[in-house]
A = this chain, B = another copy of it.
């Protein structure tokens, strides 16, 4: 049976593959679990931005852009907590999919490669979240969920842009393009091995 889910008109062009219909179905049938998982994603994304500020405490023009990202992720985290609370749910620990840890294995250990890869991996995660939150917003039949996802997804694209600009400002352009292409392929390969649990990055 063919399922015809709506797709956002614009994608972040650097993603190497579109999300499968299997994922969309799984996610739409588990709205609370996906939302709790997304709350954890926002918290983790704030953690990543702060971790980078800790790792490079004196890097020029880094904290200035990462600190506002971390704040916005936390704002969204709180927004989701409130939304869940109104529905009678609360945060709970969820087993994460292998996605984040698998991606992190591809961050090279030596500087300055480590910095470049960290920016690109953080950016790709934001890009994928943007695509998937867009799918959840477009295909949701529940208006309150739809509205929530619409309110969250725009900043994921913007955050991808911040990480991408950081990479381009601090590293030679050709170099960042080819590395993003490599990492983007890896990102898609990781998602091909579907982790059969409703998670934003399963």
Chain A residues engaging chain B, CB cutoff 8 angstroms: 40, 43, 46-47, 50, 53-54, 57-58, 60, 63-64, 67-68, 70-71, 74-75, 77-78, 81, 90-93
Contacts and interface: CB of A to CB of B under 8 A. Distances in A.
- 5 tightest A-B CB contacts, nearest first: A58-B93, A58-B92, A57-B93, A67-B74, A71-B74
Say what secondary structure dominates the interface of chain A: helix
Contact of A47 (B54, B68, B71, B92): B54
A67 B78 contact: yes
Contacts of A64: 78, 81
Contacts of A70: 46, 70, 74
B43 A50 contact: yes
